[in-house]
């Protein structure tokens, strides 16, 4: 049987043992509804609030600023929809995740509009251009911490500062789903109003995330029906998943994040060195302002679907940097915004469980796959 090499952590990272253990303890405890007053409920409430503090500590926030959600997609929707009650215009970068883009576009049916601000060839935004797009009806500006396809890290603090100078009342939302758990994040230091994170991107369980909401800011909630999460997100809390998220956050404390990021950077540097020697392969994204765990390649003369299939047969799990190899046949909006080939790309990403030998095995498999596919094309 072929040994598997998982290099798709940017899509979802395998759950950490610490998170599995925390979730198992929650289920075994037989907790009740944390909104009630009996002993089983109070025990659940105590553990949820402990978890809330662990998440807050991980991302530089106050515990009361943490609103648990089902993941970054819900957090983003809550930020976009919540801000829409403050104005009919929102600003976003052209490389935002589809969760941001589509949430903003859906508001257009109600008379709202969105402005997408372009990026340079590395996928980086200009803070001054983001701020210049703000008008009298602007409710919010959305700027991702780092890009989910090419790994480019944005000048988030500079964007926030520029927006504050232009219009102090405009909310700034940061989608940190791709970056959380991979680079240091300090919500308070950025000065942002809202921030979205998701557990499964760094070894927490799927189906749980958080929206960080600046102290004192009140948004109309996306989900209504109960007073959970201090009336900011209705519905019974997913206690086991919250415990798993907190455990993943705790694993990153006391130097854990730095150690993992350093190992990831070393592994992706090795991968970059290997692919630079390959024919007709280019690297996308910013060369220095980039996530430590993600590499995006352009392969102009080979279809990405064929490369993915060949890699999978060789035991390597990867992903196309463009959406054309997943749910949609459309080219990547991110690569289009960068002026790059939006149809032919490959994304390889490492994580907490990646071993150094996985890197060379993946590079070997990629080189062989490209050679085989090019040979087939020449002979066809």
Distance CA 189, CA 157 (A): 8
Element (H, E) at 174: strand 171-175
DSSP 225: S
Distance CA 174, CA 142 (A): 6
Neighbouring-strand partners of residue 316: 5
Contacts of 304 (CB under 8 A, 6+ apart): 320, 321, 322, 324, 325, 343, 344, 345, 346
Distance CA 348, CA 8 (A): 6
Distance CA 334, CA 338 (A): 6
Q: Decide if 357 contacts 347 (C-beta within 8 A).
A: no
Q: Taking Cα atoms as reference points, which of 162, 193, 246 lies closest to residue 75?
A: 193
Distance CA 76, CA 79 (A): 5
Element (H, E) at 316: strand 316-317
88 part of the active site? no
Distance CA 295, CA 130 (A): 26
Distance CA 115, CA 230 (A): 32
Assign 11 to helix, strand or coil.
Answer: coil
User: Which of these is catalytic: 58, 143, 290, 324?
Assistant: 324
Structure tokens at 207: 């189906």
Assign 63 to helix, strand or coil.
Answer: helix
Would you name the residues annotated as active-site residues?
324
């Amino acid at each position: 049987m072929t040994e598997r090499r998982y290099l798709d952590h940017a899509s979802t990272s395998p759950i950490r043992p610490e998170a599995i253990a925390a979730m198992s303890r929650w289920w075994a405890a037989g907790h009740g509804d944390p909104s009630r007053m009996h002993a089983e409920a109070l025990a659940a409430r105590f553990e949820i609030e402990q978890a809330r503090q662990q998440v807050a500590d991980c991302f530089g926030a106050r515990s009361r600023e943490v609103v648990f959600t089902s993941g970054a997609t819900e957090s983003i929707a809550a930020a976009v929809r919540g801000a829409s009650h403050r104005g009919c215009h929102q600003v976003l970068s052209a490389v935002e995740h589809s969760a941001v883009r589509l949430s903003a576009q859906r508001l257009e049916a109600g008379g709202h509009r969105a402005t997408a601000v372009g990026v340079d060839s590395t996928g980086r935004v200009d803070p001054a251009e983001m701020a210049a797009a703000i008008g009298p009806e602007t409710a919010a500006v959305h700027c991702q911490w780092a890009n989910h396809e090419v790994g480019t890290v944005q000048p988030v603090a500079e964007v926030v500062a520029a927006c504050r100078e232009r219009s102090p009342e405009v909310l700034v939302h940061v989608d940190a789903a791709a970056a959380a758990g991979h680079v240091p994040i300090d919500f308070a230091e950025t000065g942002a109003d809202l921030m979205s994170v998701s557990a499964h991107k760094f070894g927490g369980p799927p189906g749980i995330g958080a929206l960080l909401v600046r102290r004192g800011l009140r948004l109309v909630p996306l989900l209504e029906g109960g007073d959970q999460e201090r009336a900011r997100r209705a519905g019974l809390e997913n206690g086991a998943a919250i415990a798993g998220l907190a455990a993943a956050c705790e694993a990153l404390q006391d130097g854990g994040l730095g150690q993992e990021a350093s190992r990831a950077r070393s592994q992706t540097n090795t991968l970059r060195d290997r692919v630079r020697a390959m024919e007709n392969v280019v690297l996308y994204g910013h060369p220095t302002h980039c996530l430590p765990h993600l590499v995006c390649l352009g392969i102009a003369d080979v279809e990405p679907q064929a490369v993915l299939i060949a890699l999978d047969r060789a035991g390597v799990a990867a992903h196309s940097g463009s959406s054309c190899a997943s749910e949609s046949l459309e080219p990547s909006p991110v690569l289009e915004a960068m002026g790059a080939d939006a149809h032919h790309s490959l994304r390889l990403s490492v994580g907490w469980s990646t071993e150094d030998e996985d890197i060379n095995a993946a590079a070997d498999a990629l080189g062989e796959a490209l050679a085989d596919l090019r040979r087939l094309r020449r002979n066809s």
